[in-house]
Every structure is written in C-alpha cells, then in structure tokens.
Amino acid sequence: MASTSDDAVLDRADVLCRARGVKLTAQRRRVLAILCASPRPLGAYEILDAMREGTRTLAPPTVYRALDFLLEQGLVHKLESLHAFVGCSHPEHPHSSQFLICKTCGAVAEIEDEAIARSLGSAASMSGFQPQRRVVEVIGTCAGCAQKGR
Amino acid sequence: MASTSDDAVLDRADVLCRARGVKLTAQRRRVLAILCASPRPLGAYEILDAMREGTRTLAPPTVYRALDFLLEQGLVHKLESLHAFVGCSHPEHPHSSQFLICKTCGAVAEIEDEAIARSLGSAASMSGFQPQRRVVEVIGTCAGCAQKGR
DNA sequence: AAACAGTCGGATACAGTATAACGTCTCGCG
DNA sequence: CGCGAGACGTTATACTGTATCCGACTGTTT
Ligand SMILES: [Zn+2]
Ligand SMILES: [Zn+2]
Ligand SMILES: [Zn+2]
Ligand SMILES: [Zn+2]
C-alpha cells in the first residue's frame, strides 16, 4: 500500500466496521495502519516489532488476533507464499483477488481479474468442487525491475 | 496420490532422473514413495515420522533436502496454503498446475487448466509482469464431501 | 595406491511462524 | 448491582524451516 492517504483508508475501514457491527479497536487499527504504511508485505513479527516502537511490550498473539480480525473483515490479505500480510487496496466490496509478487523489489500488486476468476470458477465446477477461498499468487519480476535488470 | 500403482510412479521417476543426469537416491525415493502412498498432502514432519518407522533416527534436514530435490525435479509440489507436499500426478512434462483442496476430507486434486494458465499469463503481461512461479490453490469442498454434507 | 573433488546425508542447534491456555478488564444489558 | 461476551495481556509451547559442521561414499587424477 503506502498510498497517497493512509488515513483515508483507515477512516473507510472504520466506517465499514461500524456498518457491520464489529469493532475496529485501537490495536486492530494500529496493525492496519502499519500494513497500509508499508510499501511491501510484512510478516507478523515485523508488525509486532513495529508495534513495539515506543517501549510497548507485546506478544505474538496480540498481532495474530488483530490479523485474524482484519482478514475476516477483508481489510487485509495474507500472502501464503511469503507468510506475510498486505492491506487490501479496495476493501469496500467483498472480493477474491490475485497477487503479483516481485521477488526483486518485494512489491506486491493486488489485481482483480475477471477472466482469472471465471476460469478458476469453471475449472472448479467441472470437478464438482465448491470453492470457498482462492489463493492466487504469481511470483516473478515486476515491470520496473525487469527494466533495470536488463 | 495413492494411485493404482505407486511403484509405477516411482519407476517413471527413476527413468526421468536418469535421463536428466540426476540421482533419485534411496532417501529421495523414500520420500516420494511416502507422498505417493498418502491420500492427502503431508507436512515435512509427517514425512519425517513416516520415515522413522522402524527405529530409524532422522532429522528434519534430511527430509527437507529430499523435498528440495523433488521440488526442483517437479516430482512433488508444495501446497503453500497447507505447508504440505503432494506427489505430482504427471511429472513427465514440466508444468505449472492448480490445486483443488478439500477442507473436509483433505483430498487434493491437481489440475492443469489451460484457461487458467492463459488468463493468469495475460493478466501478468498487462502489468508488464514476468511470471516465474504460479501458486494457484482453491480451498473448498470436493464433490464427494458436498454430496455427503447435504 | 594416494590424494583429491564432489555429492549425499547424519547430527546439533537454532530461527521463524503460529497457537493453546488462562487470567483480567471493560462494556453493555437485565 | 451482577452477569456474559469480547478484547487483550501473558506465558508457554507447538509447528515449520535453516545454518553449520562433519563424516561417508564415489569417481577421478596423479
Ligand atoms: Zn483486496
Ligand atoms: Zn520489482
Ligand atoms: Zn504436477
Ligand atoms: Zn472432500
């Protein structure tokens, strides 16, 4: 993330949670803020370190609980191939997106491609399979790094 | 896996490795055999336990080294969302497949869907992204379990 | 035969990721 | 006020994966 206005994202998250009758508590908001401020995905322990800035004493479960909540609410995504988390770029509507992960610079692009979703869905239904969660992560080199690297 | 003839898979793997000038050693063959005999993906430590059957004393690096080799040779795949491994169902030709993972019975189907591959490729090239590895895992309910569950 | 290089794998220790279990505090409600 | 639910602190522990060092074996060179 690290968008032009992270505060806006946080405020939108606030509104979303209120509308859903769930609480974006201080800890949860803090985790979301840290993720949104990072240009690359963060591991749970990196988030933990970031939250400890300023002599706070926190343990892993605190972070994992906040992450569980944010994942449930679709405010963050987990990148399985990296064991890391990113803020969602468009949490307003429920979605299942795909990720392009640059192994050179670490940047991650979240895309929402209709064609991928369709082909995934039809492959599943051909097998009589009922999808619940989709993990689609492409690891490679982003446009910027490909330029430099040549 | 747990196909009709696991030995056949092993023998084919042998031939493949010989053709490539690499060695399918006893340990590697053993890991592959264990994976092929299992109806569901196995974690590294489950493989380790299986290999210890009969008072053998083995440490994690042994299994991870064998898995690294088998992954490089395309004889097994890693399921990132499960931290587990499966034998490949068609290792003869290099491929990048997709997985349907039933969270009820634990069974995994490896599919190779041209449409998914195409849509993934075109989404990447639209972003100028150069894919190297593709992780596509759909978690849900398989046809069999959906039947029973209703 | 002796020396050597390369690969495989045994063994110990450790790093990184995630959760179980239990206690406390607070808030909203009857 | 007394109660129940949810959030969070705290400790300990489980699970997943690596770094490192060393010894055994194989095939090659001299
Ligand atoms: Zn998203
Ligand atoms: Zn890049
Ligand atoms: Zn395969
Ligand atoms: Zn099933």
Residues B76 and B110 in one domain: no
Give B114's pLDDT tier (boundaries 50, 70, 90). very high
For residues A101 and A150, the model is more confident at A101
Q: Is the pLDDT of residue B4 over 60?
A: no
Distance CA A135, CA A97 (A): 8
Residues B71 and B141 in one domain: no
Closest nucleotide to A24 by C1' from CA: D7
Chain centroid to Cα B129, Å, comes to: 26
Which pair of structure tokens corresponds to residue A34?
């840290």
Q: What are phi and psi of A135, to 5 degrees?
A: -110, 110
- What pLDDT is recorded for position A123? 98
CB contact under 8 A, A143 and B122: no
Give B7's pLDDT tier (boundaries 50, 70, 90). confident
Distance CA B96, CA A78 (A): 22
- Across the interface, of B100, B115, B116, the residue whose CB is closest to A127 is B100
Residues A16 and A60 in one domain: yes
- What pLDDT is recorded for position A103? 96
Taking contacts as CB-CB distances below 8 angstroms, the residues of chain B near A101 are: none
Distance CA B57, CA B26 (A): 15
Q: Which residue of A has its CA nearest to B137?
A: A135
Q: What are the tens digits of pLDDT across the range A56-110?
A: 789 999 999 999 999 999 999 999 999 999 999 888 888 999 999 999 999 999 9
Report the percent of chain B where pLDDT is more than 70: 97
Taking contacts as CB-CB distances below 8 angstroms, the residues of chain B near A133 are: 81, 138-140
- What pLDDT is recorded for position A149? 75
Print the domain residue range for B141: 97-148
Residues B55 and B20 in one domain: yes
Residues B9 and B83 in one domain: yes
Subset of residues 20-49 in chain A with CB less than 7 angstroms from any atom in strand C: 43-45
- What pLDDT is recorded for position A2? 53
Whether the CB of A77 is less than 7 Å away from nucleic strand D comes out as no
Q: Which residue of A has its CA nearest to B103?
A: A132
Residues A108 and A80 in one domain: no
Residues B44 and B78 in one domain: yes
- Give the ligand with the smallest distance to the CA of A1: 1
Query: How many residues are there in chain B?
Result: 150
Which domain CATH number covers B41? 1.10.10.10
Chain centroid to Cα A78, Å, comes to: 5
Which domain CATH number covers A140? 3.30.1490.190
Answer whether residue B63 is part of any domain: yes
Residues A29 and A81 in one domain: yes
Residues B13 and B64 in one domain: yes
Whether the CB of B58 is less than 7 Å away from nucleic strand C comes out as yes
CB atoms near residue B9 (< 10 Å): 23
Answer whether residue A101 is part of any domain: yes
Distance CA B47, CA B52 (A): 9
Judge whether B37 is closer than 8 Å to chain A, CB to CB. Answer: no
Taking contacts as CB-CB distances below 8 angstroms, the residues of chain B near A132 are: 103, 139-141
- Across the interface, of A116, A127, A134, the residue whose CB is closest to B120 is A116
Q: Is the pLDDT of residue B52 over 60?
A: yes
Residues A143 and A123 in one domain: yes
Segment holding B63, helix H or strand E: helix B60-72
Nucleotides, chain C, CB distance < 7 Å: 7-13, 16-21
Whether the CB of A44 is less than 7 Å away from nucleic strand D comes out as no
Query: How many residues are there in chain A?
Result: 150
Listing DSSP states for A32-99 in one string gives HHHHHH-SS-B-HHHHHHHHHTTT----HHHHHHHHHHHHHTTSEEEETTTTEEEE-S-TTS----EE
Q: Which residue of B has its CA nearest to A109?
A: B127
Q: Which residue of B has its CA nearest to A145?
A: B129
Q: Give the torsion sign (CA, B56, B59, B61, B67).
A: positive
Mean pLDDT of chain B: 94
Q: State how far the alpha carbon of A120 is from the alpha carbons of A32, B97, B104, B121, B123, in Å.
A: 29, 12, 20, 14, 14
Q: What are the tens digits of pLDDT across the range A103-130?
A: 999 999 999 999 999 999 999 999 999 9
Which of A35-49, B90-104, B111-125 has the lowest average pLDDT? B90-104
How large is the average pLDDT for residues B110-123?
Answer: 98
Give A15's pLDDT tier (boundaries 50, 70, 90). very high
Distance CA A124, CA B136 (A): 12
CB contact under 8 A, A124 and B138: yes
CB contact under 8 A, A102 and B141: no
Total tally of structural domains belonging to chain B = 2
3-state helix, strand, coil in chain B (%, to 5): 45, 20, 35
Answer whether residue A57 is part of any domain: yes
State the angle between helix axes of B26-37 and B60-72 in degrees (0 to 180), rounded to the nearest 10: 80
Question: CA at A60, C1' at C17: how many angstroms apart?
Answer: 10
Give B23's pLDDT tier (boundaries 50, 70, 90). very high
